[in-house]
Amino acid sequence: MTAIDSSLPYPDLPQITVATEVRLVADPAHPMAYLSADPVPAGAAVEVLGANRDAAWLLVRHETTLGWMPTIFSRDNVGSLKAAFVFKPLDTQCTQYHGDATDAEKVWTITEPGAAIVQGALYRTELTEQFSDATLTLNVDGNGAAVAADYVHTQLTPNSAVIFFTFAIEELAAESRLHFTLSNTNEERISFQAALFSNSCPDAINTQSSPFLNDLPIGQTRQLAETQALPIIADRDLLPTPESTSTVSPATENVGTDDGSSATTNAIDVQGEVLLAILSTRTGPSFDYPANGWRLQGDALRILARVCSESGGYEWYLIGREGAEEQWVPGLPAFVTVTNVDTLICLPPPPTPALDPNSATLLVANDAPAKIVTDDAA
């Protein structure tokens, strides 16, 4: 669920400006999992803490709320943005959102029996030594018990720190109640929030090696390499970063075809228009590539080339270049409208960006704990 930049703490967290009013969500895999906090207004500045693996979503802090927003709603270019954390979202096939808590006194009454996952964060804006005795307890009133838990506690800046936590609960019954006890915080100023998800795949969580159950000693710093129970860990330096490489020839130049001959693109007649309020551009024809700009609703597009999906899915369109970087947009019907696109050769997608085979490799099962395999362990 998270990877951590080894260069923390930063002097300051990076900030972006929100281009349009946006509601923050609890998890990037659940885009309708809206938090109960007020929407972030257009023009507001937010701090960026993290991103999901393809950088399509950003974890931001606005006032006292931590939540996720689509990258396309940033007014600023995020191509070179440095995020402290990279997150692995929850499995959408197994989890369903059931609400959030903005303080530790929140009580959830279970309506769907079975297993659940609680994940959340505490943001510290005043760092005191006495906080080292702080604990966070998840209480279950009625049937059910926490079977695994873990957390990460790391400093963000000289004056702030964040704690991310996760609990796995099983055998909950209808009308069971969940609530927290936050102790020994030395009255520090803390922003608390958590989200509740039902979990239909409890067997996917490794509970055997969990060092914690329902009590977390959150006052103690806990780094990425120490966690072992839940699927929340991966080394940021080992995550694949797509390189921006030219994948097509420019419009009106000859490009190769499958039979080895050449054909000429005819981009002059291929026009498009942006339908979204803000559409993020990427350095390559896939969400695996980083965002490097945006287009606004109603902007005209000149389609220079297209890459087609081998599985018959949506296409990607090259709309320009910014310096050495290409600018691509997804050809989803809800995102853009285009005309005469069939006059462009349908180029195959480039190879999926891969890890350097000479480096350590990150193996992450669907909902299994991350495992780092290095040459020494081979």
Confidence of residue 91 (pLDDT cuts 50, 70, 90): confident
Average pLDDT over residues 119-129: 92
pLDDT of residue 261: 34
Question: Could you report the per-residue pLDDT of 141-164, keeping only the tens digit for each?
Answer: 999 999 999 999 999 999 999 999
Average pLDDT over residues 288-301: 84
- Does residue 371 surpass a pLDDT of 80? no
Same domain, 99 and 223: yes
pLDDT of residue 269: 66
Same domain, 102 and 79: no
Backbone conformation region of residue 238, classed left if phi is above 0, alpha if psi is from -120 to 50, else beta: alpha
Same domain, 208 and 115: yes
The residue with greater pLDDT, 335 or 364, is: 335
Same domain, 67 and 15: yes
Question: Could you report the per-residue pLDDT of 159-176, keeping only the tens digit for each?
Answer: 999 999 999 999 999 999
The residue with greater pLDDT, 155 or 2, is: 155
What is the overall mean pLDDT for the chain?
A: 78
> Under a CB-based contact definition with an 8 Å cutoff, are residues 67 and 81 in contact?
no
Confidence of residue 276 (pLDDT cuts 50, 70, 90): confident
Q: Is residue 353 part of a domain?
A: no
- Does residue 31 surpass a pLDDT of 90? no
pLDDT of residue 322: 66
Distance CA 142, CA 150 (A): 23
- Does residue 352 surpass a pLDDT of 60? no
Q: Name the domain count of the chain.
A: 3
Average pLDDT over residues 288-298: 83
User: Tokens 């309708």 identify what position?
Assistant: 32
Q: Is residue 363 part of a domain?
A: no
Q: Is residue 35 part of a domain?
A: yes
Same domain, 71 and 129: no
Strand 95-101 with 85-87, pairing: unpaired
- Of 36-40, 152-156, 367-371, the range with the lowest mean pLDDT is 367-371
Confidence of residue 132 (pLDDT cuts 50, 70, 90): very high
Average pLDDT over residues 4-23: 89
Residue 298's CATH number:
2.30.30.40
Confidence of residue 323 (pLDDT cuts 50, 70, 90): low
Q: Is residue 376 part of a domain?
A: no
Greatest mean pLDDT range, 3-17, 257-271, 317-331: 3-17
- Does residue 367 surpass a pLDDT of 50? no
pLDDT of residue 374: 33
- Of 9-18, 189-198, 265-274, the range with the lowest mean pLDDT is 265-274
Same domain, 10 and 130: no
Q: Is residue 243 part of a domain?
A: no
pTM of the predicted protein model: 0.64
Average pLDDT over residues 116-129: 93
- Does residue 15 surpass a pLDDT of 60? yes
pLDDT of residue 234: 32
Query: In what side-by-side order are the strands of the sheet with 316-322?
Result: 291-296, 278-282, 325-330, 316-322, 305-307, 346-347
- Of 78-92, 166-180, 221-235, the range with the lowest mean pLDDT is 221-235
* Torsions phi, psi for 100 (to 5 deg): -125, 170
Q: Is residue 238 part of a domain?
A: no
pLDDT of residue 140: 96
The range of the structural domain enclosing residue 40 comes to 2-87
pLDDT of residue 4: 82
